[in-house]
Amino acid sequence: MLIAEEYGELCGYVVGREVAGSGEILNLAVSPDGRRRGLGRRLLDAGLAVLGLRGAEEIFLEVRESNVGARALYAAAGFRPVGQRTGYYRYPSENALVLRLPLGGRT
């Protein structure tokens, strides 16, 4: 888990894990005040770097189909869709897109 603070206040975090060469971003969140300023991308890049150092060769994550902002962030980082999980999210119920990033191809 990595956190971002500004003026002593938590403004974002990323949670991930690595097992046997595969990494997973479990959660990435940025406070409303921290959005649209590159904080999400910096957290994502830092999380990917840590997972890479731990031996991950690929990273997976799930994202709500309707989360256009997050999908754009992940696409810009090189993630590509590889599947879908029907009814994965609750409140409201929604499908998740499964995204994958091979770390070997990152620059």
Q: Which of 18, 62, 88, 89 is catalytic?
A: 62
Active-site residue flag, 9: no
Both structure tokens of 40: 């999400």
Active-site residue flag, 13: no
Integer Cα distance of 25 and 61 in angstroms: 5
60 - beta bridge partners?
A: 24, 100
Q: Is 59 exposed, middle or buried (0-12, 13-18, 19+ CB in 10 A)?
A: buried
* 3 state SS for 22-45: EEEEEEEEECHHHCCCCHHHHHHH
Known catalytic residues are 62, 74
